Structure 1
């Protein structure tokens, strides 16, 4: 996709924040009973962007500042899912390749092993591989079947389908630039949610530890002691060194997870560990580099389908899957998954395909963690209408959390009919933001798409407003 025509306009009118509107109003507030009821429900209207739209009648039911841009929090994942499904398709699978750079002579590989990623967030993911080493072991077995007993070189990790910025712009401070469990780092070569696990076990010689996977390239400094039970593992936001502090009690083992600053080391370390388990000696270390020309494919691992990843975005609001799915769409659109290039490419797509006006949408990341993301309710509604009309519409609808369903983020919302088991939507929450966007069938049988986005201090009160608006739509009969 060529972005030259629009990138300049976006740089002038949007910036990273897309704070100002482009053009005039897109959606006029409708007159009617629902608008009056919505107005009565919504306080402090300047803190809201709201739109409810009947797909069947192709007209608004109520609106409050529908064209005003605000921070969407995890409602940003809606755009990431729609974009990826459109560009890649619900059945798309990410490949992760094992290659070799030299000939095999008398059992010796005269070169390196290469692990080339395409940004598969499910590679070694604990929810899909109970044994996170299962896929690396299959790769190692493929190399062993070629008669390899020694790798003369080392392991090259190739994450270059993405840029090397492994955490999003303006992420919350508590993410530690990808150190936290709820928002670990992003990589073109992910493994095990990009978490390095430290397992500690008291022994005769003191308090020992092991890395999982075994990656000595990531330094670990252990100052923990015996006694108590409050040990923890941390790293500074700008380095990969993991520090174990505090005290552990009992026999253990005790496990602590930290998002790796350079996650490509984890996947490469897992491959090296799997090779050694197969009795293959690896003489060299790990280095991060592009795949050399002429490298020969030994094994290709294919991921779970994209739609299963989208389910993680919609139902579980998984930040890790969201960032990787979004960067996959960026890579498809621009050639490489970059945070810097994603915002413009996304805005172009939703303008061209869903009719979102310039200035109404800016994706600084894929998950919604960034405070630089912006959308209007009208942009969200337009995008949801676009998704509703696609061949994968049913799958997208099913990917969203369902009201009252224990397996999603709406399990404690809309627990009574007619919204329960009917309204399905994406939730969103970060500091000073509460958002809810999705679909509902009214009591009169109309399909309605809606977006309720709040930016302000009273997020608990905003949730109550969203509940009332959702119930208003669910119970509406023309």
Structure 2
């Protein structure tokens, strides 16, 4: 993740925190033995930290430093998004994406529009799950072809209205370009292929993938050798090709619903179905008839994208899906309060110790305390989907996750499993570890300050302290 500036805490976060303060202050006093002293000795500049470690087996604290202090969590925010989505929707939930028609089929002609309606499926058209992103749109087109359709009198409607139309999070870093960057593309109720429009440069010009002429492209490439690239400004649709040479370049679409609609129109054309009208974004008309329903991979499989790979795109969509289930619509405006209520009621997180402004942790407005993360991880540990949730987290020293360069030696290696987080001036780590005496521990080590390289060393030392601990 990239640079984030510090901002004021949202007004909704400034709530009474007395219950949490008293609980953690009591916990700190209880944890005031040798382990507390060792942890305190490892943590310099303690005002920049929020730290908590809890024994799951004994149900008591091991050490605490400013454990109730809310600070910026970076990607540790994804812990909340994963847990909330699993609790609200269930690990076996599959997102539906529907193809509908708004009128009857007469003599091979749809007397109306074709509609593609989303539910916020981040895996729809994603090449990691479908080698060809067009696989699912083609199956939808085949469903229409089986009805004997040869043309559509109207056009294609793309319906992303399960979510709001705010397609990027509040206070995201500037280098995301409001969803233009590949590491943080736009968010939509109708995603397709990670909401990326790919531009393939050829000797004769360029090719859009998918073919969506509604997204303008200005070709300013020089041709010949050199490096070509595609960019867009943060608040406009137009994609500009610059530089020289050939290649394939992805840009996060400013209005991502056009991508799914364009993919459907392209699939219909390939199937020999003529679409006479334009592509537009609108809500599904009343009385539309379902032709084909595509179901995503299970939600639990997507949670691995959050834990192991810290995928911002999947995190935003799972979080908005949880917001939609809780409030009726996936909105950034309602998400923070709905999340705080859920975790207060389900995990006992005190008011004021969690604020989710987005699902990924990109927003500078997110806040959490170490106590809040520990409470959420304790809650997850007790759920029926606990084993899979544990598996979804990165493993210390494992090359398949975000801790490939952490805990390569010491007792935590191959043992500790956790969610990492990093942006400018923030390093965070929260998860689980087994001690040398076999005790199960949940922990959260959160740092906000300038010495981020030193903070990773401190977190490594704290993790090894727990992993090597014997009662």
Superposition TM-score tier, normalisation by shorter sequence: over 0.9
- Asked if 1:155 is matched to 2:156, the reply is yes
- Asked if 1:211 is matched to 2:212, the reply is no
Which residue pairs with 2:380 in the alignment? 387
Contact 2:9 2:365 in 1 (8 A): no
Aligned residue pairs total 458
Q: What is the rounded CA distance, in whole Å, between the counterparts of 1:125 and 1:179 in structure 2? A: 17
In the superposition, relative to structure 1, how do residues 17 and 414 fare at CA in structure 2: closer, same or farther (>3 Å)? farther
* Partner SS, residue 99 of structure 2: strand
Q: What is the rounded CA distance, in whole Å, between the counterparts of 1:32 and 1:20 in structure 2? A: 32
In the superposition, relative to structure 1, how do residues 232 and 22 fare at CA in structure 2: closer, same or farther (>3 Å)? same
Indicate which of 268, 280, 283 corresponds to 1:287: 280
Contact 1:100 1:112 in 2 (8 A): yes
Cα deviations by residue, 1:144-191 (Å, 9 ceiling, x for unpaired): 000000001000000000000000000000000000000000000000
- Asked if 1:135 is matched to 2:130, the reply is no
- Give the drift of 1:210: 1.0
Q: What is the rounded CA distance, in whole Å, between the counterparts of 1:460 and 1:230 in structure 2? A: 33
Indicate which of 255, 266, 273 corresponds to 2:266: 273
Which residue pairs with 1:443 in the alignment? 436
1:168-183 matches, cutoff 5 A: 168-183=169-184
Contact 2:15 2:351 in 1 (8 A): no
Decide which moves more: 16-25 or 314-323: 16-25
1:403-414 matches, cutoff 5 A: 403-414=396-407
TM-score by length of 1: 0.94
1:180-191 matches, cutoff 5 A: 180-191=181-192
Cα deviations by residue, 1:307-349 (Å, 9 ceiling, x for unpaired): 0000000000000000000000000000000000000000000
Which residue pairs with 2:146 in the alignment? 145
1:6-405 matches, cutoff 5 A: 15=10, 18=13, 22-23=17-18, 24-28=21-25, 29=28, 30-203=31-204, 208-248=205-245, 252=246, 254-405=247-398
Contact 1:114 1:291 in 2 (8 A): yes
- Give the drift of 1:416: 2.3
Contact 1:360 1:376 in 2 (8 A): yes
Runs of 5+ unmatched residues, structure 2: 1-7
- Give the drift of 1:228: 3.3
Q: What is the rounded CA distance, in whole Å, between the counterparts of 1:304 and 1:62 in structure 2? A: 40
RMSD, aligned CA:
1.2
Cα deviations by residue, 1:421-440 (Å, 9 ceiling, x for unpaired): 21000000011100000000
TM-score by length of 2: 0.96
- Give the drift of 1:19: 5.6
* Partner SS, residue 27 of structure 1: helix
Q: What is the rounded CA distance, in whole Å, between the counterparts of 1:393 and 1:336 in structure 2? A: 27
Q: What is the rounded CA distance, in whole Å, between the counterparts of 2:193 and 2:14 in structure 1? A: 37
Q: What is the rounded CA distance, in whole Å, between the counterparts of 1:385 and 1:216 in structure 2? A: 49
Cα deviations by residue, 1:189-213 (Å, 9 ceiling, x for unpaired): 000000000011113xxxx011100
Which residue pairs with 1:5 in the alignment? none
Q: What is the rounded CA distance, in whole Å, between the counterparts of 1:14 and 1:461 in structure 2? A: 26
Cα deviations by residue, 1:290-315 (Å, 9 ceiling, x for unpaired): 00000000000000000000000000
Q: What is the rounded CA distance, in whole Å, between the counterparts of 1:462 and 1:20 in structure 2? A: 29
Contact 1:442 1:448 in 2 (8 A): yes
Q: What is the rounded CA distance, in whole Å, between the counterparts of 1:265 and 1:423 in structure 2? A: 43
- Give the drift of 1:417: 4.4
Q: What is the rounded CA distance, in whole Å, between the counterparts of 1:297 and 1:370 in structure 2? A: 37
Q: What is the rounded CA distance, in whole Å, between the counterparts of 1:179 and 1:128 in structure 2? A: 22
Which residue pairs with 1:3 in the alignment? none
